Amino acid sequence: MIFLTLLAGVIANFIGYIPPGNINLTLVQITINRGFKQAMQFIIAFSCVEFFFTFMVMLGAKWLSEQVKLDTAIDWVMVVLFSTLAIITWRNRNKPPKTTYSEHASIKYGILLGFLNPMQIPFWMVTGTYLITHEWIDDKPLDLVFFSVGSAAGAFLALFLYAQFAKFLQKRFAFSTRVIDTAIAILFFGFALYHIFKQIYLAWFKH
């Protein structure tokens, strides 16, 4: 049962981090601009935080699902987050990349984004409820600990593959940091607009 709980966490969160989002796109940016070592520091730090984040959300999944306005709040938080990341990335796109970085810069960034990851709340509310309802996992605290360990491992694996892919792209196509930063900034702007239009649609057109 413990193995299945771990495996469920690994698979669920691995799948969760496959679609492009603020975390994996930021990782691509770090890999290309700062190098693979800094990317690994980011991944390890982020994955450690993911354990605690998953555990807390899963522990309070039932209560969170009862909060009517939670989805709306998360959407607007994502608008702010994506817009901020987009503006920062866009403004820095023409700056030459630094040759040296603080030894712990990527670790701190990984920890920060680990906590500023609101999209994981609805993800675990839906996924966690499904897994518990269908008895893939138990909702006892100890089981959720093992599930969260699996979740952290799943995040690590998915992000590691993203970093490897970014490393391959950089080596194969020799993209400039300006091209990468511009593309990522546009994607961040696009994600922010998606959440804005989603709320407009829900507020004005869906009745």
DSSP string, 93-119: TTSPPPS---TTHHHHHHHHHHHS-TT
Rounded Cα distance, 47 and 163, in Å: 14
Output the pLDDT for position 126.
79
Domain limits of the chain?
1-206
Q: How many CB atoms lie within 10 A of CB 66?
A: 8
> C-alpha distances in angstroms, 165 versus 42, 77, 117, 138, 173?
16, 29, 22, 35, 12
161-183 tens-digit pLDDT: 999 998 888 877 666 677 777 88
Average pLDDT of each block of 10 consecutive residues along the chain (207 residues)? 87 91 90 90 96 88 65 80 85 69 83 85 80 82 92 96 90 72 85 86 74
Q: CB neighbours of 93 closer than 8 A, spacing ≥ 6?
A: 177, 178, 181, 182, 185
The pTM is what? 0.83
Rounded Cα distance, 29 and 38, in Å: 11
Output the pLDDT for position 41.
95
Output the pLDDT for position 98.
62
Rounded Cα distance, 86 and 186, in Å: 7
Output the pLDDT for position 140.
87
Alpha helices in 60-176 (DSSP H): 61-65, 70-91, 105-115, 120-133, 141-173
Among candidates 159, 161, 165, which has minimal Cα distance to 42? 159
In the block, residue with structure tokens 């698979």:
11
Residue 114: both structure tokens together: 């680990």
Residue 72: both structure tokens together: 């709306």
Output the pLDDT for position 50.
94
Rounded Cα distance, 136 and 55, in Å: 16
